[in-house]
Amino acid sequence: MINKLSYIDMPSGEKIPLAFNMNVKEAIQDKVETVDKWAEKIEIKDNEPINIKDLKAGFKEMINEGIDIFNETAEEKMNPLSDKQVGRVITAMGLGNAAEKILATMQNEMLDDESSETNDNSKNE
Phi/psi class of residue 94: alpha, beta or left (left: φ > 0; alpha: ψ in -120 to 50)? left
Distance between alpha carbon 40 and the CA centroid of its chain, in Å?
Answer: 15
The pLDDT of residue 122 is: 52
User: In 27-36, which positions are buried (b, 16+ CB within 10 angstroms) versus exposed (e)?
Assistant: bbeeebeebe
In this structure, are residues 42 and 102 in contact, taking their beta carbons and an 8 Å threshold?
yes
pLDDT tens by residue, the chain, 125 residues: 457 898 998 888 999 999 999 999 999 888 877 888 888 877 777 777 778 888 898 999 999 999 999 999 999 999 999 999 999 999 998 888 888 888 888 888 776 655 555 455 555 55
- Partnered with residue 48 across adjacent β-strands are 45
Indicate whether this model's pTM tops 0.75: yes
